[in-house]
Amino acid sequence: MALEQNELDTLIDDVARQMTAGEPAASFTSSVLARLESVERPLRSWRALRSGRPARLWRPALAGLAAAAVVLLAVFIWRGSSRDTSVRRPGPFGPGIEAGAKEPTLQIAAQASPEGPALQTARQAGPKGPALQIANRQIANPIPSDIDALTVPSIAFEQLAHVPLAPLDSLEADPLTIAPLTVPPLDSGDETQRRFE
């Protein structure tokens, strides 16, 4: 059987075609998409984040971060305000006095009138002094309390008697005796030579 050139070319092409014939499996597309879903999700979200495009995947994360920041801010504000109110909270020593109630300056300020010397002293201490702050709080507090109604009994104390000291006797000091120093004469020549030898 002799074949012409064209026939042989056609036969070669036909064999070559059969060597690449066929179709991918019917599940090919779904397999590709499944692999994309399982493997490429992190890459896709990263690429979207990097390119600045809106992505459904990282929006919730951003919202979560914003919510966490708001919560942290609220906690800081609350803690700051709770420090201030801890002084104003009613305590065992009366309204508006708790932390500083044990300080003598506060006691004096609470008992004194607004024009009293304690307040003046506290004002003189400067704006940063604790006495002024506590005294100002006490003055600004208009709520009457039992402490305000209390009268402080005067403290009776005995007069201190000043006893004059008796005149001191004159001190008698023994005269110092200094023994005269005796200095032997130096033998300068021999001594110097001995040191250098």
Partner 1 sequence: MSIDRVSDADLVARAREGDAAAFGMLVDRHRTAVYRATRAALGSHADAEDAAQDAFLAAYRRLDSFRGAASFKTWLLTIAWNEAINRRRSLTRLWRRQVDAKSDEEGLDLMANVASDGPTPEQAASHEDLRRGIRRAIQALSPKLRDVLLLAQSGEHTYEELGAMLGAPTGTIKWRVSEARRKVKETLREDGFCNVVD
Residues near partner 1 (CB under 8 A) are 1-5, 8-9, 11-13, 15-25, 28-29, 31-33, 35-37, 39-40, 43-44, 47-48, 51, 53, 55-56
**For residues 68 and 138, what is the distance between their CA atoms, to the nearest angstrom?**
39
> Residue 30 or residue 124: which is nearer to partner 1 going by CB?
30
**For residues 109 and 122, what is the distance between their CA atoms, to the nearest angstrom?**
8
Nearest distance from C-beta of residue 24 to partner 1, angstroms: 4
Q: Which helix (H) or strand (E) holds 16?
A: helix 5-19
How buried is 62 (Cβ within 10 angstroms: 0-12 exposed, 13-18 middle, 19+ buried)?
A: exposed
Phi first, then psi: give them for residue 70, nearest 5 degrees: -65, -40
Nearest distance from C-beta of residue 30 to partner 1, angstroms: 8
> Residue 20 or residue 159: which is nearer to partner 1 going by CB?
20
> Residue 21 or residue 140: which is nearer to partner 1 going by CB?
21
Nearest distance from C-beta of residue 78 to partner 1, angstroms: 41
- CB contact set of 108 (below 8 Å; sequence gap of 6+): 118
Nearest distance from C-beta of residue 60 to partner 1, angstroms: 15
